[in-house]
Amino acid sequence: MRFNAFRTTSFRLAALYAIFFGLSTAALLLLVYWYTLGQMEQDVENAVSARLSNLQSVYASGGVSALEQALKRESAQPGIRYRYALIDPRGIRVAGTVPYAGLGVEWQELEGEEGDGDNFELTVGGHGVRLPGGWLLWVGRDVETLHELRERLAGAVSAALAVTIAIALAGGVFLGWQVSRRVESMNRTARSIMAGDLTRRLTVRGTGDEFDRLAEQFNAMLDRIQALMENLRQVSSNIAHDLRTPLAHLRHRLEELRGRALTAAQYQDAVEQAIGETDTILATFESLLRIAQIESGRRRTAFTRVDLSALLEELAETYTPVAEDMDHILTAEVAAGVHVQGDRRLLIQMFVNLIENALRHTPAGTRVALRLPLPVAAGVVVTVADNGSGIPAEERDKIFRRFYRLDASRTTPGSGLGLSLVAVIAELHGLVIEIQDNQPGMRVNMRFPAQGGE
Amino acid sequence: MKILIIEDDEKTAGYVVNGLREAGYGVDRAVDGKEGLYLAAGGAYDLLVVDRMLPGMDGLAVVRALRRSGVHTPVLFLTALSGIDERVSGLDAGGDDYLAKPFSFAELEARVRALLRRPAAAVQQTMLRVADLELDLVKRTVTRGGKAISLQPREFRLLEYLMRHAGEVVTRTMLLEQVWDFHFDPQTNVVETHISRLRAKVDKPFQCTLIHTVRGAGYCLREA
């Protein structure tokens, strides 16, 4: 698996996020930085200004000498944070400890280099003020701590930014790798499915996340495809298996005619029979294809509101004389006004198959009942019941399989497809088929799904 | 009567053309959709028999184009597609009837005749009459020679269809489709049973037989 973390969408998203996050964090940190330092710088400035105005009032009351004295007193205090300078009009420092010769009224920061006294090196920031007569009074405050803080803060901010971005990127790579792994596993499964193994399914982790949901949907789709392919295989195998016989039969008949001297009437007859055989074969093809079509579910879109009561009444009317002619009795109890959603023509075909099956596979004298009671809690149920010989319990399931004929009825004509068509149409409509012992005979219940609002 | 058949398969075309000519119709043939459209658009034909699957322009497209340009010649579709939806899409495209291959010639002929018989404007009739048999569409009653005949709803529908196509052969398939809405082949003698019931009520008590069986084709209602 060639995994390239950097090409995954997850990584790109994570990188994008990391950038935005990084930028906003940076902005935030810088804000903090500026604000904090700004405050501190402001504090220093204020302190210096306060000191200056203090000293200015001393000068105002006592002149230069008072000022000098005040400065001496201040400077003598141990551990003070201020540095002073009093510069005379000639530019010579008269009092104070700040030696620098470029002092002015603007804010300046100076590296400390002490001269008099036992003052240590100190970095100060301050400004001066001009006094009448050309004097300059300068006050500065220790800004070492400020500088240290500035450095520390800058260091912390950079470190924080770096860590944030690193984490975000690492996270992105990790996420990308996770997602990629999941997707790659899906790809692998898909490849083996395409290579022909239709039984494979995507793994569902059970986390309920979008990948799981996707996997579930794909698996459902694969189930469907597998069913369709199985259906296709079965149709082909059915065609091969059960149509080969009548086709072979037909061929034999035609072969027999070859080279025989028959009368015109005999030929006519033989040809009629051959046409009859061909018709049967074609009808079987037709049914098989129809079953396959219905199974592929395309007809569901053609559903309309069907008057089930009217449909069954009409069928009852149609089949009563047919039943009579076959020495059977058909009765019907159909409640009025029952409607369902479905394909009218397919429903007709389904019920016709059930009724005809009951008529044809029961002995003479059998009663066949068609019932549609008023729907109660159990919903809409159509019942076709007979009091014939019935079906042994083990066979009940199988009668709906294609071409399955009960051993007892193998000799009656018909391709055995009728009931599998019933099964397929029932499935299309979401019907539940129940086969029960009618004691005696067989009872088939067709249960419609809840119609919702009918 | 002139019929145009649009069919690319030689064997089918030959079969249909010969059969229809023998039955007395004038028949022309087109080998593909474009040629068929060109010929049919002239409006000189009374009926078009169109194969669904044609090279180039398919049958549905041809008929749609004809309908759009105002040609209302009746159309009978032929198709090898056994799909259930095919019938609907054929009728939607403007076709009038539909026949699945393979078909018996009798079936084709019956449908051709039915389509040719249709009047251009449907006249609203309240009464159908053949010889002394009268069917009142409004009152839903049937009398023959003045005597009332009581029919079940399905028998009435069956008789109505036969009378509407009086003099023509109607096939079992046509009856199953039109009278019963069965679009499949039932495994029991639905049609035969009902025809015989109908005969018992409509023909037997009277001198003249009206409902005839046409061997190998279907039934026909006419004076003997």
B13 confidence band (pLDDT: 50, 70, 90): very high
Q: Are residues B107 and B139 in the same domain?
A: no
- How far is the CA of A256 from the CAs of A182, A252, A259, A274, A452, in angstroms? 67, 6, 8, 12, 61
The distance of A283 to chain B (nearest Cα, Å) reads 8
Q: Are residues B94 and B65 in the same domain?
A: yes
Contact B152 A360 (CB under 8 A): no
What pLDDT digit, counting tens, does each position of B170-208 carry?
999 999 988 998 888 888 999 999 999 999 999 988 888
Show residues of chain A in contact with B83, CB under 8 Å: 293
Residue B122 lies in a domain: no
More confident residue, B6 or A394: B6
Q: Are residues B111 and B10 in the same domain?
A: yes
Contact B152 A317 (CB under 8 A): yes
Q: Are residues B111 and B149 in the same domain?
A: no
**Quick one: how far is CA B83 from the chain centroid?**
20
Contact A321 B153 (CB under 8 A): no
d(Cα B144, Cα B135) in Å, to the nearest integer?
9
How crowded is the C-beta side of A44, counted as CA atoms within 13 Å? 25
Six-digit token pair at A121? 């090196």
Closest by Cβ to A348, choosing from B84, B88, B182: B182
Q: Are residues B136 and B111 in the same domain?
A: no
Show residues of chain B in contact with A286, CB under 8 Å: 82, 184-185
Residue B196 lies in a domain: yes
Q: The CATH number of the domain where B108 resides is what?
A: 3.40.50.2300
Residue B76 lies in a domain: yes
The stretches in chain A having pLDDT less than 50 are 1, 117-120, 402-413, 453-454
What pLDDT digit, counting tens, does each position of B26-45 carry?
999 999 899 999 899 887 89
The distance of B83 to chain A (nearest Cα, Å) reads 7
The distance of B49 to chain A (nearest Cα, Å) reads 23
Residue B13 lies in a domain: yes
Closest by Cβ to B187, choosing from A318, A348, A356: A356
- How far is the CA of A350 from the CAs of A197, A356, A371, A434, B162, in angstroms? 35, 10, 15, 15, 27
Do domains A5-147 and A300-447 share one topology? The answer is no
Radius of gyration of the CA atoms of chain A, in A: 51
Q: Is A405 at the interface with chain B, CB within 8 A?
A: no
Choose among A150, A129, A35: nearest CA to A85: A129
**Quick check: A354 and A370 in contact, CB under 8 A?**
no
Show residues of chain B in contact with A356, CB under 8 Å: 186-188
Q: Are residues B109 and B153 in the same domain?
A: no
3-state secondary structure A195-206: CCCCCCCCCCCC
More confident residue, B5 or A109: B5
Q: What is the DSSP letter of A431?
A: -
**Quick one: how far is CA A277 from the chain centroid?**
54
Q: Are residues B111 and B132 in the same domain?
A: no
Fold of A300-447: Heat Shock Protein 90 (3.30.565)
DSSP assignment of chain B? -EEEEE---HHHHHHHHHHHHHTT-EEEEESSHHHHHHHHTT---SEEEEES--SSS-HHHHHHHHHHTT----EEEEES---HHHHHHHHHTT-SEEEESS--HHHHHHHHHHHHHS-SS----SEEEETTEEEETTTTEEEETTEEE---HHHHHHHHHHHHTTTSEEEHHHHHHHHH---S--SS-HHHHHHHHHHHHHTTTSSS--EEEETTTEEEES--
Indicate the number of domains in chain B: 2
What pLDDT digit, counting tens, does each position of A401-423 carry?
544 444 444 434 455 566 778 88
Show residues of chain B in contact with A317, CB under 8 Å: 152-154
Q: Are residues B215 and B136 in the same domain?
A: yes
Tell me: ipTM over 0.85.
Answer: no
d(Cα A28, Cα A5) in Å, to the nearest integer?
30
Q: Are residues B58 and B13 in the same domain?
A: yes
Closest by Cβ to A360, choosing from B85, B183, B188: B188
What residue in A sits closest to B188 (Cα-Cα)? A356
What pLDDT digit, counting tens, does each position of A129-175 carry?
888 888 888 888 888 878 888 888 888 888 888 888 788 778 777 87
pLDDT of residue A299: 62
Domain boundary among B99, B117, B135: B117
Cα dihedral A353/A358/A359/A365 (nearest 10) = -170
Residue B45 lies in a domain: yes
Residue ranges of domains in chain A: 5-147, 210-295, 300-447
Choose among A117, A119, A81, A113: nearest CA to A100: A113
Contact B154 A314 (CB under 8 A): yes
Backbone angles phi, psi at A39, to 5 degrees: -60, -45
Residue B198 lies in a domain: yes
Q: Is B152 at the interface with chain A, CB within 8 A?
A: yes
Contact A345 B183 (CB under 8 A): yes
Q: The CATH number of the domain where B159 resides is what?
A: 1.10.10.10
Q: Is the omega angle on the peptide bond into residue A449 within 30 degrees of 0, that is, cis?
A: no
Interface residue of A280, A327, A345 to substitute, partner B, most B CBs within 10 Å: A345
Cα dihedral B222/B168/B192/B87 (nearest 10) = -150
More confident residue, B64 or A62: B64
Contact B190 A293 (CB under 8 A): no
Residues 6+ apart with CB under 8 A from A191: none
Domain boundary among B117, B138, B162: B117
Q: Is B105 at the interface with chain A, CB within 8 A?
A: no
Q: Is A187 at the interface with chain B, CB within 8 A?
A: no
The sign one gets for the Cα dihedral A96, A97, A100, A101 is positive
Q: Are residues B10 and B106 in the same domain?
A: yes
Residue B31 lies in a domain: yes
Q: CB contacts < 8 Å between A and B, how many? A: 64
Q: What is the CATH number of domain A5-147?
A: 3.30.450
Domain boundary among B117, B147, B179: B117
Cα dihedral A103/A105/A111/A116 (nearest 10) = 50
Q: Are residues B13 and B92 in the same domain?
A: yes
Contact A302 B183 (CB under 8 A): no
3-state secondary structure A393-406: HHHCCHHHCCCCCC
pLDDT of residue A412: 42
Using left for φ > 0, alpha for ψ between -120 and 50, and beta otherwise, residue B135 falls in beta
Q: In terms of residue numbers, what domain contains B41?
A: 2-117
One-letter identity of residue B181: D
Q: Are residues B211 and B150 in the same domain?
A: yes
Backbone angles phi, psi at B11, to 5 degrees: -65, -50
Q: Is B121 at the interface with chain A, CB within 8 A?
A: no
